[in-house]
Amino acid sequence: MPLIMRIYPRKNAPWTAREIQQLGRVPDSVLALRTQRTIKEVVAMREQRRIFLPTPPRRRTVREIRMLGRYPDRELARRLRRPRKQIREERMRLHIAPIRPLKFKYWTTVELRLVGRLRDEEVAARTGHTVEAVHQKRFALRLPMPNSKIYRWNPEHDKLLGTRPDGEVTALLVCKVTSVEQCRRKLTKFPRCARLAARDQTIGSLRTYVY
């Protein structure tokens, strides 16, 4: 019987958008036959795009049941190639607690009144919330940090940048020189030379003396 060699006309040809959309939706052998490619080429493209074939329904083993609660649901779903929702439902059906139970504390009206009036660390110590939770709640309420060391800029301050040396702007706004330099660079303004500023001041005093 003569050996028949199969020819793949579209082998190593560029993939089209329509072909990529079919990856993982149809079996690799069927897609290879439709696109006239090799099965190895289809599998390589599917794995390169991290597209996995759906796992057929199968019964749970004793080993899989023993792993419930010992690993996070996301990690266990990846290892067993099962949906995360299925892992969670099975764990709750067997009354198995998660490896890291969620600790959630609701905010009361009295606790919300403290946010923005006291520092986050003090609010966390009084209410029992974490500092990160207090920070997120204050940020959601759009409240500033009381007694914050961060200098807040406004459009009036931006008008002073570039009109005089950074040292003078720092003295007027009572902030750090680095803050003035960073804001000035963001606005792409050049600093006022101290020598030119002194010259203008001298010329202004002479004009006042003349008049």
Predicted confidence (pLDDT) per residue in 60-87, tens digit: 889 899 999 888 888 888 788 788 888 9
Distance CA 178, CA 170 (A): 9
Position 90 in a domain: no
Same domain, 138 and 160: no
Tokens describing residue 65: 């049941």
- Domain assignment present for 166: yes
Q: Is residue 2 part of a domain?
A: no
Q: CB under 8 Å to 124, separation ≥6 — which residues?
A: 130, 131, 133, 134
Vertex 4: Cα angle to 3 and 8 (nearest 5)? 145
User: Do 205 and 160 belong to one domain?
Assistant: yes
Q: Which residues pair with 161 in a beta bridge?
A: 164
Q: How many domains does the chain have?
A: 2
pLDDT, tens digit, 9 for 90 and up, residues 138-148? 888 888 777 76
Average pLDDT, the chain: 78
Domain boundary among 146, 179, 200: 146
- Is residue 206 in a domain? yes
Domain end residue (candidates: 119, 146, 173): 146
Q: Is residue 163 in a domain?
A: yes
- pLDDT tops 60 at residue 96: yes
Cβ-based burial of 6 (10 A; exposed 0-12, middle 13-18, buried ≥19): exposed
Does residue 66 lie in a domain region?
Answer: no
The boundaries of the domain holding residue 112 are 103-146
Percentage of the residues of the chain whose pLDDT score is greater than 70: 79
Q: Final residue of a domain: which of 114, 146, 178? A: 146
Any domain includes 160: yes
Within a domain: 38 = no
